[in-house]
Amino acid sequence: MKTILVLHTGGTISMSEDQTTGKVSPNSENPLNKRGHLFDNVANMIVEDFFHLPSPHMTPDKMLLLKNRIQQAIVANEADGIVITHGTDTLEETAYFLDLTLKTTIPIVVTGAMRSINEVGSDGLYNFQSAIWVALSQEAKEKGVLVVMNDEIHTARYVTKTHTSNVATFQTPTFGPIGLISKNKVLFFQKLIEEEVYSIETVSKTIFLLKVYAGMDGTLFDAINQPTTDGLVIEALGAGNLPPATLSALNRLIANHIPVVLVSRSFNGIAQDVYDYKGGGKQLKEAGVIFATGLSGPKARIKLQVVLSQDTLPRSLEEYF
């Protein structure tokens, strides 16, 4: 019988709804711990309440602690698979951080819930069960960190939360899920064609994220242009374009050797240097802006933070994106 290490970090999956007020808040004890016996016949379960945090309280420092605990388990051969429960607001960022920093062949699965454990139609226990099925699956090996929600299996690299309350909130724009769960059967039908893992010991870099809007000027760019700033990610318009009033401030950032990574604010598609006009992507790339293919703003920010946290950069920063 396989062994599964379960690391609870908090989130709605560990909360309950007050039946009088409707408020959802953390419990003194994770309610999933009372249901671990449901899996006695399928796996040996090692369960740890690693954190007990609402999702917005997650930070890169805490992500690093979680990564180190998982790495410890891998080195010690503690388990055949790992399941992490997490709040959904920042789940995609933690999952991608782990994907970028963990080298492993055993399945690592992140899951959560949109409805607390005592709400009608609660999805927490079901998603937890699905995550365990995936972690037990031989086919889940060597596929990077996976996110399992609502009967679907997604890669940590591209999955995102798309709805504030719908249980089908986690989707992979452009590419779709890489697998499905049907009852207790795990079915994969695609995989990432390349893997990237970086060795880091700290995550101390200060990286900002700006979303571009019509008529935007350089005010926010200048506010970010500080000696303590290590990088900026921009969610640009369309295929990767900026309002012309931002350009002078953007160029001052680049002149100060602050890396600027650009993605599209569009839900589907990728950023490309297509348009050759003032503020167009072609001119932005020529000015030194780095285009990230297929990543969302939060994901690009996580990647820039991880890449810059390495002791050395053996290749140009643009090559990493």
> What positions carry a catalytic annotation?
12
Residue 264, both tokens: 């599209």
Gap between the Cα atoms of 30 and 17, Å rounded: 13
Residue 245, both tokens: 């009033």
Gap between the Cα atoms of 223 and 229, Å rounded: 10
Gap between the Cα atoms of 90 and 75, Å rounded: 27
Gap between the Cα atoms of 222 and 249, Å rounded: 6
Residue 49, both tokens: 């309440």
Gap between the Cα atoms of 294 and 175, Å rounded: 9
- 103 vs 67, 106, 272, CA distance in Å? 11, 9, 30
Which residues make Cβ contacts (< 8 Å) with residue 98, sequence separation at least 6?
63, 66, 67, 70, 84, 108, 110, 145, 156
Reference 81, options 1, 4, 188, 186; nearest CA is: 4
